[in-house]
Amino acid sequence: MGSSVQAWLLLAASVLAEVVGTIALRYAEGFTRLLPSLACGLCYAVAIWLMSLSVKQLGVGLTYAVWAASGTALIAIVGMIWFGEPTQPLRLAGLGCIVLGVIALNLSAP
């Protein structure tokens, strides 16, 4: 497996760890519940560590932009599906813009 493919897989795992950490944050209730609080901190630490590994092969700007945008879009989708947050047309259009932005960044990367 090429190092670039491995870097993208590490970045994808980092995004998933960040999303799981954010879900745990929802259940931590202001860090007053021990297990969700520990899960949140651990997931965020793993997310940053995995992203730091992917930055060795990918540009830092592209890596962070993809990480932040993907995490934002995924957690917004989780919020709508899992937590019953509103699925208004403007929110869905915003998610579409995030996806288009990530695609544009990937197409313009060397």
Region of residue 100 (left: phi > 0; alpha: psi -120 to 50; beta: else): alpha
Residue 22 in this model has a pLDDT that exceeds 90: yes
Main-chain dihedrals φ then ψ at residue 42, nearest 5 degrees = -65, -45
**65 CA to centre of own chain:** 10
Model pTM? 0.86
Contact 70, 19 (CB under 8 A): no
How far is it, in rounded angstroms, from Cα 1 to Cα 39?
31
How far is it, in rounded angstroms, from Cα 41 to Cα 5?
27
Number of domains in the chain: 1
Q: What is the pLDDT of residues 46-94, one digit of tens each?
A: 999 999 999 999 989 889 888 998 998 899 899 999 999 888 888 888 8
Average pLDDT taken over every residue of the chain: 90
Q: Which of 48, 45, 78 is nearest to 63 (CA)?
A: 48
Quote the domain boundaries for residue 62.
3-108
Of 22 and 65, more confident: 22
The pLDDT value given to residue 91: 82
Position 32, amino acid: T
Residue 110 in this model has a pLDDT that exceeds 70: no
How far is it, in rounded angstroms, from Cα 44 to Cα 93?
28
